[in-house]
Amino acid sequence: MLLRYDAFFNPPLAMPRPASPFDESFFDESFDENAPTLTPRMAIGLLLLTLLLTVLGGCETVVDVNVPPHERQLVAQGFFAPESLWTVRVSHTVGYSEPTVPGLVEDAAVEIWEGDQLLERLARRDSGTYIALGSRPELGRLYSLRVSAPGYETVEGGGALPSPPQITAFEPALVSAPSETRRIVRLRLILDDLAGETNYYTLAVLHLRALVDLQAGSVTSLPPALFPFTSDNPSLGNPLPNPLDPDSPTYYQALLRDDRFDGQAHTLDVEIAYDVASPPSPGPTVQRAFVVLFAALSEDLYRYAKTAPEQALFGENPFAEPLRVYSNLSNGFGLFAGFSPRAFPVPPDSLLPVVP
Amino acid sequence: MRQPGLFHLASVAWATLCLFCASPVRAQEAPSRPLTVSGFVSDAASGERLPGAHVYAPDLGHGVATNTAGFYALTLPAHADTVQVRVSFVGYQTASLILMPVETRWRDVTLMPETSGIGEVEVVAERGEDEVASTRMSTTAITAAEVELLPALLGEPDLIKAIQLLPGVQSGSEGQTGLYVRGGGPDQNLILLDGAPLYNVSHVLGFLSVFNTSAIARVELTKGGFPARYGGRLSSVVDVTMREGNRHAYATEGSVGVVASALTVEGPMPGLRRRGAFIVSARRTYIDVLAKPFLSGRTSGQNFTSYFYDLNARLTFDATARDRLTLSAYLGDDVYGTAYTSTSLDGFRERFDGGATWGNGLATLRWSRPFSNRLFTTAALTASRYRFATTTRLAQTVPGLPETFQEAVYTSGITDLGGRVDAEWTPSAAHAVRAGANLTRHRFNPGVGTLRYSLADSAATAAADTLARLLTPESFAYTTWEGFAYAEDDWQLGNRLAANLGLHASAMRGGTQTYASLQPRLSARFLLTPDWSIKGSFSAMEQYLHLLANTGVSLPTDLWLAPTERVPSQRSWQAALGTTARLGRGWMVSVEGFYKDMQGLIEYRPGASFAVPGQDWQDKVEVGRGWAYGGELFLRRTTGRTTGWLGYTLSWSTRRFDALNEGVAFPYRYDRRHDVSLVFNHRFSDTLDLGLTWVYGTGQAVTLATARFYENGLLDPRQLARLDPSNPSGPIELPTLLHYGPRGGFRMNAYHRLDLALNWHFGGALFLKGGESTLSVGAYNVYSRRNPFFLFAAPGEGGGRVYKQASLFPILPALAYRFRF
């Protein structure tokens, strides 16, 4: 289950680049190859680019700019869930202009503390990963991470598990079947929010696929991926823009806070659209299943999940102000934070009730 | 509606104070009624009236400036039998006259233009009396004639770039026409052309401004101590006045430059016998014409269009001896396009046409009338629109089949319709009262797309149908109403102390939103000597517009937007203290310090930019506050052989947004610690003069990455599959993140540049015997400094990254020829 739960935090890094008329991958399964390729925004982009290049191209010169030297620091990251083994990966930074890539740190001392008590020194695995052999996080306790390595300052940070989300109902239902193979499914979660505190959540739909070859008698699992969904719930925050349908924002992972429903029962409706498997045929077919993942996040993890993916998404746009990635560690970078997930498998469409 | 706060309570108190202050008007009138002499100040040669001329009575230490209609009303003490008055205006010889107010209540004055010449008598009087004696501060006027003597990019005189050379004003990036006044943003400047607002003053992506100096009389920049008559923007008012045209004779003026040519025709209105005048001025670039031979030689079947044009016109008609009607109009567009046609061997033909057009259009109809020599009124109707439109069309023809095409159109812009009335009343020698009101309807079009198509494939047609339905124009446009009323009194409190007290009340309504504010204004001066005064001012401002703009470059896609529930209006208050002195021999010096506080500012969220489409603009921005403070030195000489100025600004401009930079204050992108402008013009002889400008500015504040690190967070499910303890694996590829230093914590390289222009004046124009000509030869960026335009990241060695600085203009020669006959 660790795999599924941690997958919450993948989406922004794994998802496509921001929507762009040039980026067909944005449309995923719903992309229509026959759609016209010329849109007003595309036209603007092309024209402005042409203009800018025309005006500026003839006289532009480029000069290198020196960035101040950087002293390498440790980067540690450990996200923990109830009953999961402590797992921390340690690497180090490099200067922006340094002619090398960041490196993993294989000789670090990684310790989990609770107050003044050392709970466990994690054992080193490969790829800069350190894991616990016995201890696991528990609800209601405050832990701290301490990482040291020769030649680096010790980094420290603390975190706790948030209370698990109170999902009182999960109600998937079939909205429509526009064609023989097309299905639109509504996934409804009813959340009972804890009052008197700011709570942070995330919601994603995990797409599990397997390649089934009846003739060969083989089943090959494909890497899990996050599946796009739509929602008009304003609490879900900023979705990825959808240029073909601005009124239907598309999410791969939604981050939300309880500002609009503090202490109340809140209904979250999202919709997914997909094609069911074709009837059995002599060749291999793709079988798919969906799991709705909903987790309560610590504030630190929420802030990290807001900033890190956006930086990775938008890159180094010279006309945009850069985004700083949130960190709760001192003397270094990274995050040590907890989350409490819940998973809800979506039944096959043939078993779903129909939305009245 | 915003709840009244302490600030508004203070405003109400201010209004009460203003009413109290007005009471002495009646008290002073009672014993003996003061006498007022009024009239118009005009150019003796052309008959054009001169706004901004100064009428000054040195013995009384009292003076007034002519209004935009060239009207003055000088009220004198009742005991004054004869009064000596000096009337001055830059570029004209000062007139000295004796007024006898008991006998003459109306006195028109004509000023002779300065005739340059070494052997001639130097200009009689020096300017500066108005700057010293006026209650206004932080205000500078420049005439178009002064602008034309300055070196210019590609030889094209530019009003906005001349303003950028004044202290307290900064340009944005290299060559841009954006104005950043006292720490404010480019949207915080009210730019008026004959009273109507202009929303985008840029041509060629911001490298030239829309003002054709041939049609402009003068420009006045106010960057603080705003009189109550102005409102609607936080940082400055740029009031541009067009010329009226020659009432006495027809004249033609033209210029031929590297990138543009202009032609101006003016003269008396036919059949009206000096009761009216017209001026029409047109300018067009011909980059496309010049570039065509080079472009067409490279790619067959390809056409390229690139030009802009301006058309200014003004008609003035004196309906009666007192009633004047003025119609001013401006129309200007940038037009860019590209087209290509290709035909394959099998007969398949494809044609692409793409184009973008953006520009302003405005018109002002003004009626002015002095009802008495104490009361002058003006009423005006204004219309202004800014529009951006782009069209692309792709057509394909397969032999034997009908043509298929798809055409996309995108438009955005803003349209204003407004009406305004103003009254100027001079009840006594101690008071000059102004009051007025304005109502404007804004129609915002924040981006509309339409699609037309005829496609062969039914699936493609269906998809296009879906897209076309989403591009419904009316779903985007919306309307707001904005109005204001004001009253101000220029109050003479004895011989040394004078104050301008005012109140500006404004409101905006749009949709469900209503904003209202009371904005007190105060400026005062104290004369230490007749040539030296100290001044102070306080002004509150409110702005019901936001500009969603790209940082650094003026693009036509910049959107003007009204405040919303989530993004409130902008507010500011500014206090300034300074001193102005006349040093003799035409020298003036002014030193000012200011502090400005701004709220309701918007900044793009980190990572967001204009280039990310399909997102609500409100989601792209954060709202916060800012403050700026600093000092300005302005040393200027306006008469004599050598003229020009030295401007120096030492300033700090800071922003603080809860959601940016972890809530910590950071320097504004255009925070410029040191800003120096040296403007120098020397007249060697009647025929030769030299213009020189040198500017220096601290580099822009930028945020740079200092380190790179792995995103270690086990975020990718494919990684997770390998990192799960039950499924260990070998090395994996990790995404890399960047650590950025503090926001605005680094500086680009400093900006400095020297421009030169040599102007040769000679007789004859366009091979004609009459008239006069000027040939200007110069260079922009004489020592070819590689100034920063923007920084961008690029791959470095061994997986590292590097920042590179893009620079635009090396040394650029300039050549321009101007003629007049």
Going by C-alpha positions, the residue among A142, A93, A95, A89 that lies closest to residue A119 is A142
Nearest-neighbour CA in chain B from A335: distance (Å):
8
In A198-257, the residues whose Cβ lies within 8 Å of chain B are 206, 223-226, 238, 241-247
Say if the Cβ atoms of A241 and B615 lie within 8 Å: yes
**Which residues 554-583 in chain B show a CB within 8 A of chain A?**
555, 557
**Among candidate residues A144, A252, A136, A135, the one with its CA nearest the CA of residue A202:** A252
Burial label for B383, CB within 10 Å (0-12, 13-18, 19+), is middle
By mean pLDDT, which of A304-308, B252-256, B401-405, B551-555 is the weakest?
B551-555
Best mutation site among B207, B450, B739 for testing chain A: the one with the most A CBs within 10 Å?
B739
Contact B458, B417 (CB under 8 A): no
What does the alpha-carbon distance between residue B105 and residue B294 come to, in Å, rounded to a whole number?
66
Q: In this structure, which CATH number among 2.40.50, 2.30.30, 3.40.50, 2.60.40 belongs to the domain A166-295?
A: 2.60.40
pLDDT band of A61, cuts 50, 70, 90: low
Chain B residues inside the 8 Å CB shell of A75:
709-710, 712
CATH superfamily of this structure's domain B139-704+814-820:
TonB-dependent receptor, beta-barrel domain (2.40.170.20)
Q: Which chain A residues are closer than 8 Å to B295 by Cβ?
A: none
| B799/A101 touch (CB, cutoff 8 Å), yes or no | yes
Does the domain at A71-162+298-342 match CATH 1.10.8? Answer given as: no
Whether the CB of A104 is below 8 Å from some CB of chain B: the reply is yes
| pLDDT value for A47 | 58
Nearest Cα residue to A294 out of A347, A267, A248, A254: A254
Chain position carrying tokens 């206090």: B575
Tell me the chain A residues in contact with residue B464 when contact means C-beta distances shorter than 8 Å.
35-36
pLDDT more than 90, % of chain B: 30
Tell me the whole-structure pTM to 2 decimals.
Answer: 0.78
Of A34, A322, A335, the CB nearest to B705: A322
Residues of B in contact with A179 (CB under 8 A): none
CB contact under 8 A, A48 and B797: no
Residue B473 touches partner A, C-beta closer than 8 Å = no
A176 has pLDDT over 50: yes
Please determine, for residue A53, whether its predicted confidence score (pLDDT) is greater than 80. Answer: no
**A291 interfacial to chain B (CB closer than 8 Å):** no
For residue A57, what is the nearest residue in chain B, using CA coordinates?
A: B808
Does the distance separating the beta carbons of A244 and B467 come in below 8 Å? yes
pLDDT at B331 over 90: yes
DSSP state of A14: H
Confidence check: pLDDT of B121 > 60: no
Cβ distance A19 to B613 less than 8 Å, yes or no, reads yes
Q: Which residues of B touch A18 (CB under 8 A)?
A: 612
Average pLDDT, chain B: 81
Cβ neighbours of A32 in B, within 8 Å: 459, 463
Average pLDDT, chain A: 78
B419-448 in b/e form (b: 16+ CB < 10 A) is ebebbbbbbbbbbbbbbbebebebebbbbb
Q: Write out pLDDT tens, residues B750-783.
A: 999 999 999 898 887 666 667 888 888 888 888 8
Select from A23, A96, A135, A303 the residue whose CB has the most chain B CBs within 10 Å, as the one to mutate to test that interface.
A96
Q: Where are the domains of chain B?
A: 32-125, 139-704+814-820, 705-813
Q: Are B746 and B702 in contact (CB under 8 A)?
A: yes
Do the first three CATH levels of A71-162+298-342 and A166-295 match, i.e. the same topology? yes
Highest mean pLDDT among A262-266, B553-557, B801-805, B809-813: A262-266
* Chain A, window 127-156: residues with a beta carbon less than 8 angstroms from a chain B beta carbon: 127-129, 131
Asked whether B1 and B514 are in contact (CB, 8 A), the reply is yes
Contact B799 A100 (CB under 8 A): yes
Distance from CA of B772 to the nearest CA of A (A): 34
CB atoms within 10 A of CB B286: 15
Q: Does domain B32-125 have CATH number 3.40.50.300?
A: no
d(CA A27, nearest CA chain B) in Å: 13
Task: Locate the domains of chain A by residue range.
Answer: 71-162+298-342, 166-295
Chain B residues near residue A21 by CB distance under 8 angstroms: 613
User: Looking at residues B5-32, what average pLDDT do you find?
Assistant: 45
Percent of chain A with pLDDT over 70: 75
C-alpha span between B69 and B328 (Å, rounded): 13
Nearest-CA residue of chain B relative to A22? B613
A320 or B73, which is more confident = B73
- DSSP secondary structure string, B101-140? TTT-SB--EEEPBP---TTSPPPSS-S-HHHHH-S--SEE
Q: ipTM higher than 0.85?
A: no
Predicted local distance difference test score (pLDDT) of residue B744: 86
Using the Cβ of A63 and the Cβ atoms of chain B, whether some distance falls under 8 Å is answered with yes
Cβ pair B410:A79 closer than 8 A: no
Report DSSP state, residue A326.
P
For the record, the structure tokens of B179 come out as 């104005």
Out of B799, B806, B809, the one facing A99 most closely (by C-beta) is: B799
Tokens encoding B532: 């030296």
CB contact under 8 A, B801 and A97: yes
Inspect the interface and report whether the beta carbons of A102 and B709 lie closer than 8 Å: yes
Buried b (16+ CB within 10 A) or exposed e, B572-607: bbbbbbbbbbbeeebbbbbbbbbbbbbbbbbbbbbb
A9 vs B contacts (CB less than 8 Å):
713-715
Query: Could you give phi then psi for residue B746, rounded to 5 degrees?
Result: -125, 165
pLDDT digits (tens, 9 = 90+) for B39-60: 889 888 888 888 888 888 887 7
pLDDT category of residue A158 using cuts at 50, 70 and 90: very high
Among A61, A65, A314, the residue with its CB nearest the CB of B607 is A314
Two tokens, residue B403 = 């043509």
